[in-house]
């Protein structure tokens, strides 16, 4: 686990997680699709943990503007994509797939969002940000 990279803010190049490769093999993904995914993921940087990865993606903060200008940092935003490869692997071991895991995660997140209403109004934003 490379928490020292996360704590220092230093990103590392990330590889495609093993459960993703397993699922592709199970689903019989063809070589062209695999090559395309490898090229797309080839620039992924972020942080590696026992439970998965956080992929950092620098995006243009305003989708209506031209492609982001690295010299104009005011238009940039940072997006963190969480890859829960540990959970994905466990789900595959149990006979599930990524689509089912994704559906389950959405339901859990919706339930959490709905539970905000059970908190006193003053505590809602601090406890469970939207």
At 22-69, the pLDDT tens digits run 998 888 888 888 888 888 888 889 999 989 999 988 776 554 454 555
Among the listed residues 118, 119, 112, 87, the one whose alpha carbon sits nearest the alpha carbon of residue 102: 87
Average pLDDT, the chain: 79
Predicted TM-score of the model (pTM)? 0.65
Both structure tokens of 77: 């935003």
pLDDT number for residue 100: 94
Both structure tokens of 101: 């895991």
Both structure tokens of 29: 């993904």
pLDDT number for residue 1: 46
pLDDT number for residue 53: 92
pLDDT number for residue 122: 72
Percent of the chain with pLDDT over 90: 25
């Amino acid at each position: 686990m490379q928490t020292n990279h996360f704590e220092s803010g230093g990103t590392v190049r990330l590889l495609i997680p093993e459960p993703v490769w397993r699922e592709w093999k199970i689903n019989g993904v063809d070589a062209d699709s695999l090559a395309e995914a490898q090229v797309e993921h080839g620039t992924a940087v972020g942080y590696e943990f026992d439970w998965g990865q956080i992929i950092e993606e620098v995006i243009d903060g305003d989708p209506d503007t031209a492609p982001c200008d690295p010299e104009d940092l005011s238009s940039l935003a940072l997006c963190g994509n969480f890859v829960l490869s540990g959970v994905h692997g466990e789900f595959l071991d149990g006979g599930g797939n990524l689509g089912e895991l994704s559906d389950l995660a959405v339901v859990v997140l919706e339930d959490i969002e709905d539970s905000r209403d059970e908190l006193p109004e003053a505590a809602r934003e601090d406890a469970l940000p939207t």
